[in-house]
Amino acid sequence: MPWLSPYSQPLTADQATHLLRRATFGPTPALTKQFTGLKPDAALKILLANQPAPPPPVDVSTTKTFVDLPFNLDMQGQHQSFFKNWWLGLMINEEPNVTEKLTLFWQNHFVSTYAVVPDARYLYRQLALIRQHGMSNFRQFVIDMTKDPAMLRYLDGRLNVAVKPQENYGRELQELFTIGLGGNYTEDDVKAATRVLTGWIDNGFRDVANAAITVTFRANQHDTTDKKFSAAYGGYTVKGRTGATAGDEELADMVDMILRQAETARFLVRKLYRFYVANDITPDVETNMIEPLAKILRDNKYEIKPVLNALFSSDHFYDEAVRGAIIRSPLELMIGTFKYFGLRAPESGTTTFNALGDYIRARSREQQMDVYEQTTVFGYRPYYDTGLDRIWISTNTLALRSLYTDQLVRGQIRPNGVTFSFDSVELIKTLSAPTDPVKIIEDLTKDLFAVPLIKSQKDFLVDQVLIPGLPRYEWENEWTGFLKNPTATRKTSVKTKLDNLLIFMFRMAEFQMS
């Protein structure tokens, strides 16, 4: 399996940037420097290290958490915002680790939404479950998610009882969460799975008197008969059980049956590949990446971390052909740009923290990526199927992306009166040769773009954007003059040119790619 063979050379700066851009929400110059020269195995020890659970979201008005309190009807809208903004803050302030971006992947895999489950305490609990299992065992992940209070509400599992089966979760468990479409299960299998899942209910939803959120299996509402599955599952029968443990035992039996099917591992690996490597799965990719990665998943009893390790350390992952193969989602673009310039979310629970989260959520929602609010159980459409990542880009959303980066460069992002901006002059001072306009473009394009520019593009950036109509030596004269005598007027002149350059670069097609 040469495509999946471990890449064993020290990472170049370009490769380190590529790894950080894909595995996380994006690099910073300092992180690129830290990872340059590491071999992939050393880099992945950092990126795949288990992370502690973060402190819970905080109510700005009390500076205390609300997730362990009874539901507060008067504060329900604010608590929704605090929860979603808390998650965005974790993305912005992420460590060099896969956890935050992987959490986004899984939340979009096991979709629930606030619109259907309007209790932020439920969604906090679900996101904690996703964090717990994101790099661990998929079997246990599926079992626990099936009994998750938010999921029991989102897909109506709580309504599924022996005398009146509710098929939503029994269908989506197979179609979207495990084995996928394509003749891998039948309508009779949906019915059989639904019968296995009868009897579960959540407790505590929007309960203003009690804080506890629990799940109960009601044995008297469970279908105790045998459940025979179709030939797609080898005609397997989940034996009917009775008593308090019947629900857990039958659920585990059914999940094991689904995971025994080779297509289940392939289905999951394809989603990971499209999210992290490239949207288009060709026959060669299927043979050389999907099949061997699926085997790794099965051989490791559905542990997820070995698959991520093999993927991020493979020769194929570092092939230049896959750079730029993914269009950045709105959150990747906004948070990645924010991070690149060293900006961080303020302390959680502050008014400014919440205002920043509101701003980013609003911009993301305008670009069709509403946080924890997918419009269907399929998830954000660009992630759902091959080739659909292009949907992120339209005339409208491209203009909105540019508006965000324009505001960031110009210092116009001011939630709660606090400006989130960076100094382009200080940025250029960190580059290899600030006096050389050609080197400035070289350094910036390597940092900001996943794919290299051709010479004519670089020349245009120098001659028509940075110093339009001027000979190139004029930049060196102006820069050195500023350094020798850094008056406000001279800095404004230099900064205006640099800001215009960055604004133009952020509007380029290459900046939209990962």
Tell me how far apart the alpha carbons of residues 172 and 258 are, in angstroms, rounded to a whole number.
13
Length of the chain: 514
pLDDT confidence of residue 390: 87
Tell me how far apart the alpha carbons of residues 432 and 503 are, in angstroms, rounded to a whole number.
21
pLDDT confidence of residue 287: 98
37-69 burial code (b ≥16 CB/10 A, e <16): ebebeebbeebbeebeebebbbbbeeeebbbeb
Looking at every residue in the chain, the average pLDDT score rounds to 97
Low-confidence ranges of the chain (pLDDT < 70): 1, 386
pLDDT confidence of residue 384: 85
pLDDT confidence of residue 1: 54
Pairing of strands 64-65, 227-228: unpaired
Tell me how far apart the alpha carbons of residues 358 and 90 are, in angstroms, rounded to a whole number.
14
Closest CA to 9 of 32, 40, 45, 34: 40
Tell me how far apart the alpha carbons of residues 337 and 325 are, in angstroms, rounded to a whole number.
19
